[in-house]
């Protein structure tokens, strides 16, 4: 069983803002979005969490180890430094999809994403310290087998990108439907998934599914931990094993039982 704490991050009324009073320069919007994401990565990441950019105006964070007060501070800091504000909704579940479902619902109950008067909502609860364990999170780090040799150095960049993108689109849908797990493209040929209690066989199934469906070959390292950084770093090391040995799936079930970072 996993116990994933997920935060749904939503920029308040962002769509309308981008075209008011008339469409804003695209490069400024891109700069704003990617810097906000970078800031959240640092603010959440320095407490052991992960943020995924997903749609940029809506982001998904894995926040085991962060309290609601931590969220409030991050929300205030963004409000002080950006022309837009953001709402945060925190929830927990035995699968990441379930946790996110609750988080999104809490936000939807507070109003529409394009409601002018709904600003800086902060809803939900963090896992009580006493219920946290070193196995709360399971994270998988996928990449494409020999992406540089097979694609980057051979095809034009867009055709490489098409391959990666088709692989990602298939994996993210399948992992969600079959395993209630949330997969995010993180650049290059890398995909990081926040997973339910999948076992090695499940990962082999996911990799096989993508290979069959869109002919993109993945490998994956899997780790566990009390916070995203811990599980994610174990997954990275496990993926290094795949790269070294040619294994398709490498899982590292050891846990440190280390206290999560303060």
Residues 15-44 within binding reach of its own copies (CB under 8 A):
15, 19, 22-35, 37-39, 41-44
Q: Is 237 in the site for its own copies (CB under 8 A)?
A: yes
Mask 110-149, x = binds its own copies (CB under 8 A)?
Answer: --xxx---------------------------------x-
Nearer to its own copies, 153 or 257 (CB): 153
How far apart, in whole angstroms, are the C-alpha atoms of residue 116 and residue 241?
A: 50
Nearer to its own copies, 112 or 245 (CB): 112
> Closest approach of Cβ 207 to its own copies, in Å?
19
Tokens of 108: 């939807």
Residues 76 to 105 in contact with its own copies, rule: CB under 8 A: 76-77, 80-83, 97, 100-101, 103-105
Q: Which stretch binds its own copies (CB under 8 A): 120-128, 170-178, 195-203, 248-256?
A: 170-178
Quick one: how many helices (H) and strands (E) in the chain?
8, 10
Residues 191 to 210 in contact with its own copies, rule: CB under 8 A: 192
Pick the closest to residue 143 from 185, 206, 200 (CA basis): 185
Residue 139: CB partners within 8 Å, gap ≥ 6?
A: 50, 62, 192, 193, 194, 195, 222, 223, 224, 225, 228, 231, 232, 234, 235
Say how many residues touch its own copies, by CB under 8 A.
Answer: 92
Q: Which of 4, 14, 126, 210 lies at the binding interface for its own copies (CB under 8 A)?
A: 14
| Backbone dihedral angles phi then psi of residue 252, each to the nearest 5 degrees | -120, 100
Please report, in angstroms and rounded to a whole number, the separation of the first and last CA atoms in the chain: 24
Q: Is 188 in the site for its own copies (CB under 8 A)?
A: yes
Q: Which of 128, 130, 157, 212 lies at the binding interface for its own copies (CB under 8 A)?
A: 157
Tokens of 37: 């994401």
């Amino acid at each position: 069983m996993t116990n994933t704490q997920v935060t749904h991050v939503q920029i308040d009324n962002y769509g309308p803002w981008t075209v008011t009073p008339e469409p804003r320069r695209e490069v400024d919007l891109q700069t704003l979005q990617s810097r906000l994401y970078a800031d959240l990565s640092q603010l959440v990441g320095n407490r052991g969490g992960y943020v995924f950019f997903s749609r940029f105006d809506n982001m998904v964070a894995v926040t085991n180890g962060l309290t609601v007060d931590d969220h409030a501070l991050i929300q205030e800091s963004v409000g002080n430094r950006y022309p837009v504000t953001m709402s945060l909704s925190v929830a927990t579940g035995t699968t990441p999809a379930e946790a996110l479902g609750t988080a999104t619902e809490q936000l939807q109950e507070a109003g529409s994403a394009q409601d002018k008067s709904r600003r800086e909502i902060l809803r939900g609860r963090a896992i009580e310290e006493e219920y946290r364990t070193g196995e709360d999170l399971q994270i998988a780090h996928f990449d494409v087998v020999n992406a540089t040799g097979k694609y980057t150095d051979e095809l034009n960049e867009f055709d490489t990108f098409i391959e990666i993108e088709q692989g990602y689109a298939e994996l993210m849908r399948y992992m969600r439907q079959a395993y209630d797990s949330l997969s995010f493209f993180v650049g290059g040929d890398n995909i990081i998934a926040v997973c339910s209690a999948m076992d090695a066989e499940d990962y082999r199934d996911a990799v096989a599914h993508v290979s069959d469906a869109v002919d993109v070959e993945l490998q994956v390292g899997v780790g566990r931990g009390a916070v995203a950084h811990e599980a994610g770093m174990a997954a990275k090391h496990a993926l290094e094993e795949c790269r070294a040995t040619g294994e398709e799936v490498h899982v590292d079930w050891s846990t440190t039982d280390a206290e999560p970072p303060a």
